């Protein structure tokens, strides 16, 4: 089963908290842990990864905290997933740092998996934080998301 990790799921939750309250400015890890009901150490770990990826900016000091490094409309779901998981690769043959697969030489599926991997990435990349925070009826229509998967590369 294809599934994102809990950390990635939590990172998306935290990023939508930022996107939902842009006027709030910076938010502390403690505030985010309370708002999301996630453990503070987990929130801190995720915030560091999101900062390293350039999705969040941190500010030190008494009025410090974290905030979006760019507008929510410029941050895709793919950016958040990659910040936590690394480059999207559904199989070994889709990985950026390609490792030799034991059956690669005679495998008829390599190019097919790469098409599927690109479709999944495209679907994630076309959804922005801004879209995720809108009511469901104004988000990307389900049919459009499914057409991304069905359309040939």
- For range 68-88, the mean pLDDT: 94
- Looking at the predicted structure, is the pLDDT value of residue 5 above 80? yes
Mean predicted lDDT score pLDDT of the chain: 84
Q: How confident is the model at residue 150 (pLDDT cuts 50, 70, 90)?
A: very low
CATH number assigned to the domain comprising residue 45? 1.10.10.10
Owning domain of residue 65: 6-150
How many structural domains is the chain composed of?
A: 1
Candidates 8, 94, 22; CA nearest to 53 is: 8
82 assigned to some structural domain: yes
Helices (H), 23-109: 29-36, 40-52, 77-85
pLDDT at 21: 83
The larger pLDDT score, comparing residue 97 to residue 66, is at 66
38 assigned to some structural domain: yes
- Return the structure tokens found at 118: 């690109």
* Number of neighbours of residue 14 by Cβ within 10 angstroms: 25
């Amino acid at each position: 089963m294809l599934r994102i990790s809990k950390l990635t799921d939590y990172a998306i939750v935290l990023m939508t908290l930022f996107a939902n309250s842009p006027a709030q400015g910076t938010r502390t890890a403690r505030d985010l842990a309370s708002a999301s009901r996630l453990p503070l150490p987990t929130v801190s770990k995720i915030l560091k990864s999101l900062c390293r990826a350039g999705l969040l900016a941190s500010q030190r000091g008494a009025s410090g905290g974290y905030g979006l490094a760019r507008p929510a409309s410029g941050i895709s779901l793919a950016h958040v997933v990659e910040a936590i998981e690394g480059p999207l690769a559904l199989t070994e043959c889709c990985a950026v740092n390609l490792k030799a697969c034991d059956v690669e030489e005679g495998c008829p599926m390599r190019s097919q998996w790469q098409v599927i991997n690109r479709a999944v990435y495209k679907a994630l990349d076309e959804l922005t934080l801004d879209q995720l925070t809108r009511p469901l009826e104004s988000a990307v229509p389900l049919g459009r998301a499914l057409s991304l998967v069905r359309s040939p590369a």
